């Protein structure tokens, strides 16, 4: 048995209230809060409680949760971590460990796999292929609020990308799906193309969290609704990544974290059949879309994060 995906993440932000309002609008469902109201939890449609938001002096990803099938997996990880000299804490069905290079705390727990009801395959017309004859596209008829199915991946800045990759692969058992030399490594702990993207950076920071929706129409509809009254939330989209193939649209929460609606990510069911690639140049970032905004690679608050003087906007 093995690791099977991200279970949840904990975001630390200066203004919990503002950020919670944003993620509720983004389509996550409030599902609980601590007695003092300072730790709030949100659910996705398929993944259950997958986001916790809590107070922190500056924005950062405090923890990622990874699901494992059974305690044997935790035993195996214990041995691997011991081999690479990483310290961890094990208590029953949870193992907590810290990667010093990405400043990420990882909590691996024995948890059930997320089971997703299949999204309806919508026919599309093409030249000489009228697969959707005599009716309008279902995507334009939808009026419901877009709600992410589940948390897909997180992207974090690591001070030593190679060392972090070593920690997550040799230490925890993540697999390398693709690499962009000296910039990023796409790692997976499920059948998703990536669940964790480690990006070389001068400071530890959360680049973005990514939330799966049914299809490209939901990517567009979700972003459209978020931008209607808040055009300042726009970061980058609509586009399609080359690495991972997903359609994307990135938005910015009030703390400065990017959140991505995505659909049609590559999916690896058989490790033997996937050919990891080393992707160079612009394709490392995207295949098509609007021009890449410089603030996507280096968020506007990066300097402030480096001095610890970040102030929420």
In terms of CB distance, is 28 or 210 closer to Fe ion? Answer: 210
Beta carbon of residue 147, minimum distance to Fe ion (angstroms, whole number): 18
Beta carbon of residue 110, minimum distance to Fe ion (angstroms, whole number): 27
* Cβ atoms within 10 Å of 190's Cβ, excluding its own: 22
Greatest alpha-carbon pair distance for the chain in Å reads 64
Task: Give the Å distances, CA to CA, from 243 to 15, 136, 185, 186.
Answer: 33, 32, 10, 9
Task: Give the Å distances, CA to CA, from 184 to 175, 218, 284, 309.
Answer: 14, 27, 9, 26
- What is the rounded (10 degree) CA torsion for 251, 47, 143, 214? 80
In terms of CB distance, is 260 or 301 closer to Fe ion? Answer: 260
In terms of CB distance, is 68 or 265 closer to Fe ion? Answer: 265
Beta carbon of residue 93, minimum distance to Fe ion (angstroms, whole number): 29
Q: Taking CB under 5 A as the rule, does residue 260 contact Fe ion?
A: yes
Among residues 210, 243, 265, 305, the one that binds Fe ion under rule CB under 5 A? 210
Contact 223, 262 (CB under 8 A): no
Beta carbon of residue 155, minimum distance to Fe ion (angstroms, whole number): 6
How many residues line the site for Fe ion (CB under 5 A)?
2
Residue of 249, 31, 41 lying closest to 146 (CA atoms)? 249
In terms of CB distance, is 180 or 210 closer to Fe ion? Answer: 210
Q: Taking CB under 5 A as the rule, does residue 243 contact Fe ion?
A: no
Beta carbon of residue 120, minimum distance to Fe ion (angstroms, whole number): 24
Task: With contacts defined by CB under 5 A, name the span among 57-65, 70-78, 177-185, 253-261 that binds Fe ion.
Answer: 253-261
In terms of CB distance, is 20 or 210 closer to Fe ion? Answer: 210
Q: Give the E-state strand segments of 222-297 in sequence order.
A: 234-240, 247-252, 258-263, 277-278
Q: How far is CA 55 from the centre of its chain?
A: 20
In terms of CB distance, is 60 or 194 closer to Fe ion? Answer: 194
Task: With contacts defined by CB under 5 A, name the span among 15-23, 69-77, 184-192, 257-265 that binds Fe ion.
Answer: 257-265
Task: With contacts defined by CB under 5 A, name the span among 70-78, 176-184, 204-212, 292-300 that binds Fe ion.
Answer: 204-212
3-class SS of residue 86: coil
In terms of CB distance, is 210 or 226 closer to Fe ion? Answer: 210
* Residue nearest to Fe ion as judged by C-beta position: 210
Q: Taking CB under 5 A as the rule, does residue 52 contact Fe ion?
A: no
Q: Is the dihedral of CA 301, 160, 162, 53 positive or negative?
A: negative
Beta carbon of residue 244, minimum distance to Fe ion (angstroms, whole number): 7
Beta carbon of residue 90, minimum distance to Fe ion (angstroms, whole number): 31
How far is the C-alpha of 147 from the C-alpha of 45, rounded, in Å? 7
Q: Are strands 39-44 and 88-91 parallel, antiparallel or unpaired?
A: unpaired
3-class SS of residue 9: strand
Q: Interface residues with Fe ion (CB under 5 A)?
A: 210, 260
């Amino acid at each position: 048995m093995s690791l099977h995906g991200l279970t949840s993440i904990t975001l630390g932000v200066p203004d919990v209230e503002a950020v919670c309002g944003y993620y509720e609008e983004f389509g996550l469902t409030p599902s609980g809060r601590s007695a003092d109201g300072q730790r709030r939890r949100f659910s996705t449609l398929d993944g259950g409680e997958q986001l916790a938001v809590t107070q922190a002096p500056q924005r950062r990803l405090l923890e990622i949760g990874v699901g494992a099938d059974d305690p044997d997996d935790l035993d195996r990880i214990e041995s691997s971590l011991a081999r690479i000299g990483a310290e961890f804490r094990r208590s029953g069905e949870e193992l907590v460990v810290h990667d010093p290079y990405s400043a990420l705390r990882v909590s691996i727990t024995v948890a059930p796999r997320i089971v997703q009801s299949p999204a309806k395959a919508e026919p599309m017309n093409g030249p000489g292929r009228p697969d959707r004859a005599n009716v309008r596209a279902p995507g334009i008829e939808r009026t419901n609020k877009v709600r992410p199915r589940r948390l897909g991946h997180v992207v974090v800045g690591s001070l030593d990308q190679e060392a972090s990759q070593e920690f997550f692969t040799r230490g925890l058992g993540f697999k390398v799906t693709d690499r962009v030399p000296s910039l990023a490594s796409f790692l997976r702990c499920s059948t998703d193309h990536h669940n964790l993207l480690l990006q070389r950076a001068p400071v530890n920071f959360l680049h973005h969290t990514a939330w799966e929706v049914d299809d490209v129409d939901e990517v567009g509809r979700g972003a459209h609704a978020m931008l209607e009254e808040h055009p300042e939330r726009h970061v980058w989209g609509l586009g399609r990544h080359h690495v991972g193939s997903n359609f994307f649209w990135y938005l910015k929460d009030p703390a400065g974290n990017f959140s991505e609606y995505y659909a049609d990510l590559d999916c690896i069911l058989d490790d033997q059949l996937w050919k990891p690639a080393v992707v160079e140049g612009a394709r490392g970032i995207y295949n098509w879309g609007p021009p890449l905004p410089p603030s996507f690679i280096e968020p506007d608050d990066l300097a402030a994060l480096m001095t610890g003087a970040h102030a929420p906007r």
